Each structure stands twice: as structure tokens, then as C-alpha cells.
């Protein structure tokens, strides 16, 4: 396993530091921080900026977006142990959308460091890189470019195709590439620990174990070493004179002499090692107080935790030393072999500490305990990867605390999703995937996550996913909760919630606010009927990704799923009378305008079971239904008719839910929710052609959302 090297810089001194009378350094302020990172033309990144760069940082994102490549970009500038030959980039290190190495290209990785105002050593070391004061900011940049002697002008075709040998690299300070500061990478040290697959091997080898390095950094007192060595010398002498040891020595001398003759000048002797270094290397790690169980007798996950703990402790020791260094430790996929609850506990502790730690992870368990300000989301956009953070000031303290509690293990999946659908409760999280499956549309297959906010306050979550923060594709499905009140917030609470969300997602909110106010001020319709103009507002909100039902989900789906609803109820409730009463209530709710009393007759019976439990059972029946046939029946259309989005949105009750699914499928597969056989066959043909490289670009197919 890769290790934190022993030849890490001794001259590096990062941090606001004072000196104690005992000769050790004391931290008197925060550690120097990565303030900003910018990467251009490197691997996944055309041009990405992370500002501010959080500390500690947890880098999340789906597979293949460039989490490890981000760490490697930082290594180009900061890792003193990265061989210089690996700073000479190869053609596949250049971003696909940029000119190739053969055409002439520059690759930049720029980092800004701050928080060293009170550290005189740091100010001296980084003097040539300082770009701002109050506070001090130092900028270090890795630059790969064609050699000056070639006279290549970027943007123009070179006289001949270039090769990697035609390029040179440098690390410079501030804004001048001539201001070379190659030694700065030994001051601002970074070390990357690849995925912790199996720490036991390193822990069992003294030359690689971080325990040996810890002992070198904090060795026992010399008097104790001398006393132990003297005792060991006596024991060694006794063992060395043992008849069997002496006999083995004699036979080995004879064997080597016979085999090699006098040409090989070797005098075999046996002794027992007794140098101070051997003494430190002989210390072994045990996992029980009695010192009987070695690390090989514990789990791989436990060994990984111990390994990481020793690395962090060693870095802490070195920060305190007068000539030590403060290393930025980056760990890839630290969740390997760790039980989920252990992941949460270990990293909740580590991420709550003021340390210079960077993690890349696929684990929702680690993401669930990550402070929002530590998240860096890497996402693909238009052929490149971008980085998103939750910037300061976007959320107040209460909203931040609520969201951090909200991001439990299940909901933390939204950080890895390609598309998110926010819903009110558990019922929707069961039914939306089931309806999609009934249409032959696999949400999981495309990384679409349906996440419940457990209420109706979507605004903090929309801000988190919105353009000023993580900027992820998301939609919202909310109940309409229509009443006959004359106040907007009471009469149309669903549309009121939509307006608040549209202020985050679009600029159409003022006009919709005016129209909603006018609509509610008009004379109320008969009980159960929708207000005039409501459908138009619902359509406009849906066009911006906010889908507003009519009443509540369980009532709205009755026209579409009456048969399945009754079957699911009967699965969970015994008694002929109760089953007949529910079936009758659902039959009445199938009408286009059920009254409040009729809606309650359905909802109250479901609530006695539990909405989530009922939806879970209902989903099992929905998944296997013929959704297309049922929708065509509602539309009074032929079984092979084309079903457009406009047809779906007009269906009473469930129309908005179906429209949401239709929009998702069109955005991702380029298909309507309920394609005809001809449409599906054409899509399948194009997909097969595309997989063979024979067809046209499919555009939206497999694009993963809008």
C-alpha cells in the first residue's frame, strides 16, 4: 500500500505557529488553508474553479467524473513525492475538449494558500508567491506548455505535430511563469493515500508501517534505548553461543565455500540484530491490552482505521515539531472495508476536527455526516466536469443544521444522483419508481433518486440543489391541498409552495404570483371543482420543474389506480365491511371532483394503516400493471394511440404525477413516458446502432437529466 514517505520535507512549516519553552511548536491559530483551486485543460476539467476550497473537504460525485483526477491535479503542484517524470503529462492527460498535445496546449493547475499572516517562516518561504495582503494570499501554479525554443503560438497550428518531449513544466509563484518556485512543493506538502484496501500488510512490515515512523518522530529516551540494548546484547551473546546456532554457522560456511570456492570472499556468521533502528522496528502493534493478538487477527476495516489514525497522529506530531511540516493528507475512498456505522462514527469525528484532510468517497454514510460547507460535488456538464460547493451565506445556521440532519444515509444519495425528485413523504418514494417501472422506465438505472423532505418546506433543499450551490438537476412534486379559502396561502398552498421554489429555479415567479392572486380572488367554484385558470398555472410551474397535484397523493391517484388501491388495502386489512367501505370510498374518489368529505373517507382509512406502509404494498401491485392501457382508458383513446405530455397533464388528479415521469423520460431517453410500439422500436434501433458506433448521436439518450 502507498505510504506517507519518510523523506517528507523537514523544512516545511505550515501553520500559525509559536514556540514553547520545551522546543516544540504550538499552534496559535488555524493551519494554512487551500483557499482556491483552478484547473484548466487537465483530464476531466476544461476549466474548473473551487472557491473557496473547503477544509476539511469531502469530494463526492458519480463514477468517472474526476474525483481522483482532482487530487492528482493538486499533486502536480503540492506533492513533493510525486516523481518529476509524472509531471511530464501524456496525451491522455489533456482534456478531450481542448487542443491535443500534438496541436500545442497549456495545462494549468493553480492553488491559492492563505491563513499564514502570523507565521514568519511561511511568509518567508512563500514571499515570491504572495498576491494579496490583509489577509496574505500566496498563489502557486503548475504549468505545462510547449518549450519556448519551439516558438509555438497557442491557437495556431504548430509547424509539426508536437510530442510530450516538446513540452516543459514548471511550478511558479504569483502571476509570472518565470518566477519558478519548484521548492515550494516541499513547503506546502501534500500526500495522497489511495483507497485503503488492505492495511494489514503495511502494518506488519516495519519498513512501511506508520507505527515505525511515529516512533522515529517520537523515539524513546536515549537512556532507555541504551539500557535495553545492553540487556539485549547479553541475550544475543548467549544465543550466539548456542551449540545449534554455532553448528548452523559452520555448515553454512562449509556449504558456501564448497559451492563458490575461494573466489567468493564471504565469512558467514550468525548474530542477532541490536542497532537502535532495529529496536524501533521490532515494536509490533497489538489489538488487545495483553499484547497477544496482532493486527492480522482483526478485521481489515479495523486495521484500516488504525492505519489512518496513525497517519493523522504522525502528521499532528510533525506539526508540533520545530522543523516539522503540516501535510495536506488526501485519502481516496476511505470507506473500504468499514462497517456503515463505523464509517459514520469515524468520519463524523475526523470531519469535525480542524485538520487539512481531503477525502474522495462514494459512500452515502460518509456524505451523511459531512458538514455542508465541506462538500465538493463533482458533476459532468457538457463534456467536462464542474465542481460545486455550498458557498458561505447561502443558508442560515438553522437551515444548515436542518439540512445536515436531513442528509441521512438514504437521502445523502442525492449527492451522487444524476437527477433528484424531491417529494413530501415516503408514499411518493415508493409509488413514483413503481409507476416508472410499470412504464418500462428504470429510475435507478439512470441515477434518478426520489427523496422525501418529510414535509412541505422544500425551499432549503431547493437552495442546496439550486444554481447558487450544488446546481443539480432536480424536480419537486407537491400536493395541491386545494381548499375553498379566499387566502392564497390557504386556498392554494401547493401553488404557493411552487411560487417560492420558482423564485429559486426561474424568473417567472412575479407573473405567476399576480395570476395566482387574481385566480383565488375570483368566485370559488363548487365544492371539489378546480378554480378557473388553475391548470394553466400548474402547467407553467411544471415547465420549470415544480409539479403541483390537486389534493393529496392518495386521492389524486384514485382515477388511475383504483383497482390496485383496493387490492393493496385488502392485503393489509381484514374484515369484509372495512374492505367494502374502502372500495366504495375509492370508487367515489375516482370522480373528477370529490368533495372534502369524500377525500377524507379515503385518506383517513389509509392513515390508520400508515401512508408509507400502504404505499409500499401498493407499489408492488403498481409495478406489474399495464400503465399504458390504463392511461389510454382514462383518455378514451385507442390502445395504440400516441400519448403526449399535453394529454397527461389534463388527466384529473394523477395528471401532474404522470407529467413529471413523462418529462423525466423525455429528458433522459428521448422517449415519452408511454411510447407506442413504433416509437419504442425506433428508439431501440437507434440505441443499438449507437452502441455499435453506426448511428447518429442520440443526444438526450443516457444523458442523465437536463
110-151, pLDDT tens digit by residue?
Answer: 999 998 888 787 788 888 999 999 899 999 999 999 999 898
Residue 362 clears pLDDT 70, i.e. is over it: yes
pTM given for the model: 0.78
pLDDT in tens, 493-546: 999 999 889 888 766 677 888 888 888 888 777 666 788 888 999 999 999 999
Residue bearing the bigger pLDDT, 219 or 296: 219
> Taking a C-beta distance cutoff of 8 angstroms, is the pair 99, 156 a contact?
no
Domain that holds residue 654: 417-556+627-675+687-706
Asked if 551 and 499 sit in the same domain, the reply is yes
At 704 the pLDDT is 34
- Among 197, 226, 245, where does a domain finish? 197
Query: Smallest Cα–Cα separation from 499: which of 482, 511, 483?
Result: 511
Residue 11 clears pLDDT 50, i.e. is over it: no
224 found inside a domain? yes
Give the total number of structural domains in the chain: 3
Tell me 94's DSSP state. B
Asked if 186 and 214 sit in the same domain, the reply is no
Helices and strands in the chain: count of H runs, count of E runs: 27, 18
Q: Using N-to-C axis directions, what is the helix angle for 558-572 and 596-609, rounded to 10°? A: 40
35 found inside a domain? yes
457 found inside a domain? yes
Q: Please, what is the average pLDDT of the chain? A: 83
Q: At residue 456, what are phi and psi to the nearest 5 degrees?
A: -125, 5
Q: How confident is the model at residue 271 (pLDDT cuts 50, 70, 90)?
A: low
602 found inside a domain? no
All residues at 6 or more sequence positions from 251 whose CB lies less than 8 Å from its CB, including other chains? none
Query: Smallest Cα–Cα separation from 410: which of 375, 450, 464?
Result: 450
At 179 the pLDDT is 93
Residue 623: strand, helix, or coil: coil
Mean pLDDT for the stretch of residues 651-664: 95
- Among 197, 220, 243, where does a domain finish? 197
Residue 539: strand, helix, or coil: helix
**Which secondary-structure segment (H or E) carries 256?**
helix 243-260
pLDDT in tens, 374-409: 999 999 988 899 999 998 888 888 888 888 888 877
Residue 563 clears pLDDT 60, i.e. is over it: yes
Assigned C-alpha cell, 30 = 488555524
Dihedral of the CA atoms 359, 363, 365, 371 (nearest 10)?
40
Asked if 138 and 223 sit in the same domain, the reply is no
175 found inside a domain? yes
Asked if 706 and 644 sit in the same domain, the reply is yes
Q: Interior CA angle at 590 toward 585 and 595, to 5°?
A: 70
Minimum mean pLDDT range among 99-113, 136-150, 247-261, 641-655 = 247-261
At 182 the pLDDT is 87
Asked if 97 and 241 sit in the same domain, the reply is no
In b/e form, how buried is each residue of 373-405, taking b as 16+ CB within 10 angstroms?
bbbbbbbbeeebbbbbbbeeebbeeebbebbbe
At 319 the pLDDT is 63
Asked if 148 and 224 sit in the same domain, the reply is no
Residue bearing the bigger pLDDT, 364 or 565: 565
Query: Smallest Cα–Cα separation from 477: which of 497, 491, 460?
Result: 497
d(CA 179, CA 526): 78
596 found inside a domain? no
Asked if 243 and 176 sit in the same domain, the reply is no
Residue 651: strand, helix, or coil: coil
- Among 297, 326, 355, where does a domain finish? 326
333 found inside a domain? no
> Taking a C-beta distance cutoff of 8 angstroms, is the pair 144, 89 a contact?
yes
d(CA 423, CA 331): 34
198 Rama class: left (phi>0) / alpha (psi -120 to 50) / beta: beta
d(CA 438, CA 440): 5
Residue 703 clears pLDDT 50, i.e. is over it: no
What burial class does residue 513 get, using C-beta atoms within 10 Å of its C-beta: 0-12 exposed, 13-18 middle, 19+ buried? middle
Q: How confident is the model at residue 324 (pLDDT cuts 50, 70, 90)?
A: very low
All residues at 6 or more sequence positions from 529 whose CB lies less than 8 Å from its CB, including other chains? 593
Residue corresponding to grid cell 513525492:
81
At 205 the pLDDT is 63
Residue corresponding to grid cell 437551515:
399
Q: Using N-to-C axis directions, what is the helix angle for 576-589 and 596-609, rounded to 10°? A: 140
Asked if 35 and 137 sit in the same domain, the reply is yes
> Taking a C-beta distance cutoff of 8 angstroms, is the pair 695, 668 a contact?
no
Asked if 270 and 158 sit in the same domain, the reply is no
d(CA 563, CA 561): 6
- Span between the terminal Cα atoms of the chain, in Å: 40
146 found inside a domain? yes
Mean pLDDT for the stretch of residues 357-361: 91
Asked if 276 and 228 sit in the same domain, the reply is yes
d(CA 520, CA 490): 10
Residue bearing the bigger pLDDT, 277 or 495: 495
Asked if 191 and 217 sit in the same domain, the reply is no
Asked if 44 and 109 sit in the same domain, the reply is yes
Q: How confident is the model at residue 694 (pLDDT cuts 50, 70, 90)?
A: low
70 Rama class: left (phi>0) / alpha (psi -120 to 50) / beta: alpha
Amino acid at each position: 500500500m502507498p505510504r506517507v514517505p519518510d523523506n517528507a520535507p523537514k523544512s516545511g512549516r505550515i501553520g500559525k505557529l509559536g514556540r514553547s519553552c520545551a522546543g516544540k511548536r504550538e499552534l496559535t491559530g488555524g493551519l494554512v488553508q487551500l483557499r482556491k483551486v483552478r484547473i484548466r485543460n487537465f483530464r476531466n476539467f476544461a476549466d474548473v474553479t473551487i472557491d473557496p476550497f473547503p477544509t476539511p473537504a469531502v469530494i463526492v460525485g458519480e463514477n468517472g467524473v474526476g474525483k481522483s483526477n482532482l487530487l492528482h491535479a493538486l499533486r502536480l503542484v503540492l506533492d513533493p513525492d510525486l516523481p518529476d517524470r509524472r509531471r511530464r503529462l501524456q496525451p491522455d492527460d489533456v482534456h478531450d475538449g481542448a487542443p491535443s498535445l500534438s496541436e500545442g496546449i497549456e495545462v494549468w493547475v493553480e492553488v491559492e494558500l492563505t491563513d499564514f499572516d502570523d507565521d514568519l517562516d511561511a511568509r518567508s518561504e512563500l514571499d515570491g508567491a504572495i498576491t494579496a495582503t490583509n489577509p496574505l494570499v500566496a498563489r502557486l501554479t503548475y504549468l505545462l506548455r510547449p518549450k519556448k525554443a519551439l516558438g509555438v503560438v497557442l491557437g495556431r497550428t504548430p509547424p509539426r505535430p508536437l510530442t510530450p518531449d516538446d513540452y516543459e513544466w514548471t511550478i511558479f509563484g504569483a502571476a509570472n511563469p518565470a518566477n519558478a518556485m519548484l521548492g515550494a512543493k516541499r513547503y506546502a506538502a501534500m500526500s495522497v493515500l489511495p483507497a485503503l484496501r488492505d492495511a494489514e500488510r503495511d502494518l506488519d512490515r516495519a519498513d512501511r508501517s506508520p507505527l515505525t515512523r511515529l516512533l522515529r518522530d517520537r523515539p524513546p529516551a536515549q537512556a532507555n534505548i541504551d539500557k535495553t540494548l545492553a540487556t539485549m546484547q547479553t541475550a544475543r551473546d548467549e544465543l550466539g553461543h548456542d551449540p545449534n546456532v554455532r553448528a548452523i554457522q559452520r555448515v553454512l560456511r562449509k556449504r558456501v565455500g564448497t559451492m563458490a570456492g575461494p573466489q567468493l570472499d564471504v565469512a558467514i556468521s550468525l548474530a542477532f540484530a541490536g542497532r537502535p533502528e532495529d529496536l524501533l522496528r521490532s515494536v509490533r502493534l497489538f489489538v488487545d491490552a495483553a499484547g497477544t493478538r496482532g493486527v492480522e487477527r482483526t478485521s481489515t476495516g479495523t486495521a484500516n482505521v488504525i492505519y489512518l489514525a496513525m497517519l493523522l497522529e504522525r502528521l499532528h506530531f510533525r506539526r508540533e515539531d520545530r522543523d516539522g511540516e503540516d501535510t495536506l493528507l488526501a485519502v481516496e475512498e476511505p470507506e473500504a472495508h468499514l462497517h456503515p456505522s463505523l464509517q459514520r462514527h469515524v468520519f463524523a469525528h475526523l470531519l469535525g476536527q480542524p485538520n487539512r484532510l481531503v477525502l474522495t468517497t462514494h459512500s452515502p454514510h460518509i456524505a451523511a455526516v459531512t458538514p455542508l460547507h465541506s462538500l465538493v460535488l463533482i458533476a459532468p456538464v457538457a463534456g467536462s466536469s464542474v465542481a460545486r460547493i455550498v458557498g458561505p451565506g447561502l443558508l442560515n445556521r438553522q437551515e444548515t443544521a436542518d439540512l445536515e440532519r436531513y442528509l441521512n444515509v438514504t437521502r445523502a444519495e442525492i449527492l451522487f444522483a444524476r437527477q433528484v425528485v424531491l417529494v413530501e413523504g415516503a408514499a411518493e418514494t415508493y409509488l413514483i419508481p413503481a409507476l416508472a417501472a410499470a412504464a418500462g422506465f428504470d429510475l435507478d438505472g439512470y441515477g434518478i433518486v426520489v427523496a422525501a423532505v418529510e414535509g412541505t418546506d422544500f425551499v432549503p433543499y431547493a437552495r442546496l440543489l439550486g444554481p447558487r450551490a450544488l446546481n443539480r438537476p432536480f424536480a419537486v412534486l407537491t400536493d395541491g391541498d386545494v381548499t375553498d379559502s379566499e387566502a392564497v396561502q390557504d386556498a392554494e398552498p401547493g401553488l404557493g409552495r411552487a411560487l417560492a421554489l420558482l423564485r429559486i429555479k426561474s424568473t417567472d415567479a412575479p407573473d405567476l404570483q399576480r395570476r395566482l392572486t387574481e385566480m383565488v380572488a375570483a368566485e370559488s367554484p363548487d365544492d371539489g371543482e378546480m378554480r378557473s385558470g388553475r391548470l394553466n398555472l400548474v402547467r407553467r410551474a411544471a415547465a420549470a420543474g415544480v409539479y403541483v397535484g390537486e389534493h393529496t397523493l392518495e386521492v389524486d391517484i384514485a382515477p388511475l389506480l383504483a383497482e390496485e388501491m383496493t387490492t393493496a388495502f385488502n392485503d393489509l386489512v381484514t374484515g369484509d365491511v372495512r374492505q367494502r367501505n374502502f372500495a366504495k370510498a375509492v370508487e367515489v374518489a375516482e370522480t373528477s371532483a370529490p368533495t372534502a368529505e369524500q377525500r377524507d373517507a379515503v385518506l383517513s382509512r389509509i392513515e390508520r394503516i400508515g401512508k408509507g406502509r400502504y404505499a409500499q404494498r401498493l407499489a408492488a401491485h403498481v409495478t406489474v400493471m399495464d400503465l399504458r392501457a390504463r392511461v389510454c382508458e382514462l383518455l378514451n383513446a385507442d390502445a395504440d394511440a400516441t400519448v403526449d405530455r399535453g394529454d397527461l397533464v389534463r388527466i384529473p388528479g394523477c395528471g401532474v404525477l404522470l407529467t413529471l415521469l413523462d418529462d423525466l423520460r423525455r429528458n433522459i431517453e428521448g422517449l415519452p413516458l408511454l411510447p407506442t410500439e413504433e416509437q419504442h422500436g425506433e428508439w431501440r434501433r437507434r440505441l443499438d446502432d449507437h452502441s455499435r458506433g453506426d448511428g447518429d448521436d442520440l443526444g438526450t439518450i443516457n444523458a442523465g437529466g437536463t
